Amino acid sequence: MHDSAFETRLERLDWADIGSQLDAEGYAVLPGLLDTELAHSLARQIDTPQARRVSLESSGLGRGDLYHFDAAMPAPLEQWRAALYRRLAGLANRWNELMGANPRYPAELAEFLARNRSAGQTRALSHLNRLGVEDYVALHQRNDGEQVFPMQVVALLAEPGDGFLGGEFVMTEQRPRMQSRPLVAPLKFGDAAIIATAERPFQGSKGYYRVNLKHAVSRVREGERVGLELFFHDAP
C-alpha cells in the first residue's frame, strides 16, 4: 500500500470513536488496516539482511525472536508511523494534561524524534516478531527515557486459526488498590491496534488518575505467529 493509499485509509477512520475507545479501554482495534498483500510483504521483511535478530530469551522477555531495523525501517513503515503520529499527538497531549504530566508533543513526528535524540534516545524500538510453537512474549512495557509517547501500534501479520493457534494479544491494567484487569485485543490477520504504552488516564469518582498497562502475547500452540510493534519514541 503506497503512502497516499494509507493516508486515505487513515482519513476514513472515525478518530473521535477511536479516541473514545482509547479513553475507555486503553486500546482501539483498527480492523483490516493492512491488506493481505501488505501484511505478507511486511512479514517477509524478517528474512532480509537488514533485520537484526534479538532473542526474547536473552532479554528475559519470553521465547521467540524480535527483528529490529537499526538503519531504517522497511519502506513505507516510516511514513505510516509519521501519519499515525500526526493523528495521535493531540490525543496524547490530552492524556498528559489529564494525568498532570508535563511533556507536550509537537504536531510532527520528526520534531519529536529530534527531542529524543537531544535526550540521548537513539535506539530504535519498533520491530517485527516471530513466535513458533511454545513461544510467547512476557508482560512488559517500553517506557525508558524522558521522551516517551503514551501510545504505540501493534499489528498481526499471520492468520489466526490457519497460520497459528494461540498467540493472543493480551494486556493487563493495574489500577491503584485494585487487582489487575486482564484485556484481550481480538486481532485478526491485517488488524492493527493502538494501545497505551505504559500509562493512561482513568476517570474515577474523584477525577482522573493514572493506571498502569503492560502487554504480552500468549503461548503459541501451533504454527507460527508474526507481528509488528510500532513505537513513536526511541530508547536510551
Res. 235 pLDDT band, cuts 50 70 90:
very high
What domains does the chain contain, in order, with CATH numbers? 3-230 (2.60.120.620)
Report, as an integer, the average pLDDT of 97-119. Answer: 94
Name the β-bridge partners of 215.
140, 171
- Residues above pLDDT 70, as percent of the chain: 98
Q: Is the pTM of this model over 0.85?
A: yes
Note if the bond before 76 is cis, omega within 30 degrees.
Answer: yes
Letter string b/e over residues 118-139, b meaning 16 or more CB atoms within 10 A of that residue's CB: eeebeebbbbbbbbeeebbbee
Set of cell numbers at residue 96: 498528559
Per residue in 15-52, pLDDT (tens digit) is: 999 999 999 999 999 999 998 998 999 999 999 998 99
> Helices then strands (H, E): number in the chain?
5, 15
pLDDT averaged over every residue in the chain: 92
Across 22-31, 41-50, 72-81, 96-105, least confident range: 72-81
- Mean pLDDT (whole number) for 176-191: 88
210-227 mean pLDDT: 96
In this predicted model, what pLDDT tens digit does every residue of 109-166 receive, in sequence order?
Answer: 999 999 999 999 999 999 999 999 999 999 999 999 999 999 999 999 999 998 899 9
